[in-house]
Amino acid sequence: MRDKTLLLIWVFVFIFVPRLSFAAEIINYNFNTQSFGILSHGSYWTMQPSGGVDNSPAVRLEYSVAGTSDKALGLALSSYESNEYYVEFDVRADGVPSGGSKYVKFFGSSVASQNNMTFGLSYTSNTQKEVSYYGDTICSAAWDGTTGGSCTPTFVVQSSTIDIRGGTWGRYKLWVKRASPGVENGEVKVWWNGVLRAHITEMDSNPSSSSTAFFYSLELGGYNHSTFNGTPWYLWIDNLVVSAEAIPTPICDFGHPYLCTTEETCEAVSGLHWCYSACWDSVCDETPTAAGAASLGGTQGAGLGGGGSVMIQ
């Protein structure tokens, strides 16, 4: 009887646990099937059979008129009951952007004060430089450490504006934690091309004590301001991933500071994983140096010099 019980336990673990480890991932779309899947989309979003990363299929938003109508690529989130999300995608802007964009917007409760959070492209500079929050856009926190409104968040990492213009692909990634209702414990991290550009804590991003703790929906693209000059431009997105989960806890090998133990997509080295190039946005957020590469030897260190510092977030 005991052996049968153990067998059943192992069967359960083998079959179900691997699936549970991926339960937080909501979508992972490269659009190669040329389908929007569970994403809703307005008419200005179209599926392009080529033009994506490596000239693969991708989705494209046309900005040819100002306003909101039919410009959102949407994902319903209420059923996941989460206040923490990862969003990452490849992005490029063709043409000369004007009028900005809501770009990435999280909506709060639909029944109480919404307390939305917007990672927008500036209506004037058309760059990605801040997050707006508190109600909708009453407060803002820019990547360079400046704030707008009465909110006083804490800046753990500061940097400069992110510029998606120029017609070349870049990788944009964010992690957001919506604050508990009435508590200033919201948090945001933003990466650009694998480099952590902003980390902001103690955000008053859910000020109404009567609101829910969770986000209601997510939209990409969206509103284009009246500063739009009338010349069409295009926002492309490829390799879109959305996950409902907390940010992973770093587990780094401090004896060999350029190796991580938890990065599944990096090259394995003696049971650990080398963090390089596309792997810089791993949970260890490390930038390899020439000294670190030389200390390990082998092909893993080849061509990875050039200075830098170790950043454990």
| Long-range pairs, 170-174, Cβ under 8 A, ≥24 | 170/90, 170/91, 170/92, 171/88, 171/89, 171/90, 171/91, 171/278, 171/281, 172/88, 172/89, 172/90, 172/91, 172/128, 173/86, 173/87, 173/88, 173/89, 173/281, 174/86, 174/87, 174/88, 174/104, 174/119
Does the 19-243 domain belong in CATH 2.60.120.200? yes
Residues 85, 180: Cα–Cα separation, whole Å: 14
The 10 Å Cβ neighbour count of residue 79 is 9
- Please report how many Cα atoms fall inside a 13 Å half-sphere around the Cα of residue 239, on the Cβ side: 16
**In the chain, pLDDT over 90 holds for what percent of residues?**
59
Helices and strands (H, E) in the chain, number of each type: 2, 20
**Mean pLDDT, to the nearest integer, of 46-62?**
97
**Mean pLDDT, to the nearest integer, of 133-149?**
93
pLDDT for 114-124, tens place per residue? 689 999 999 99
Q: Please, where are the H alpha helices in the chain? A: 2-20, 290-296
Structure tokens at 39: 């994403």
**Mean pLDDT, to the nearest integer, of 128-141?**
92
**Where in the chain are the domains?**
19-243, 248-313
pLDDT of residue 256: 45
pLDDT of residue 276: 38
pLDDT above 60: residue 198: yes
pLDDT of residue 311: 31
pLDDT above 70: residue 215: yes
pLDDT of residue 262: 45
Q: Is 284 exposed, middle or buried (0-12, 13-18, 19+ CB in 10 A)?
A: buried
Q: What are phi and psi of 27, to 5 degrees?
A: -140, 150
pLDDT above 90: residue 13: no
**Mean pLDDT, to the nearest integer, of 244-269?**
47
Least confident of 9-13, 91-95, 212-216, 217-221: 9-13
Find all residues with CB under 8 Å of 130, minimum gap 6, and list them. Answer: 119, 120, 122, 140, 141, 142, 143, 148
Q: Please, where are the H alpha helices in 259-312? A: 290-296
pLDDT of residue 110: 57
Structure tokens at 101: 């964009």
pLDDT above 60: residue 225: yes
Predicted TM-score (pTM) of the model is: 0.74
pLDDT of residue 195: 85
Find all residues with CB under 8 Å of 12, minimum gap 6, and list them. Answer: none
pLDDT of residue 246: 60
Kindly indicate the confidence band of residue 212, based on its pLDDT and cuts at 50, 70 and 90: confident
pLDDT of residue 297: 36
Residues 220, 121: Cα–Cα separation, whole Å: 11
Three-state DSSP at 40 gives strand
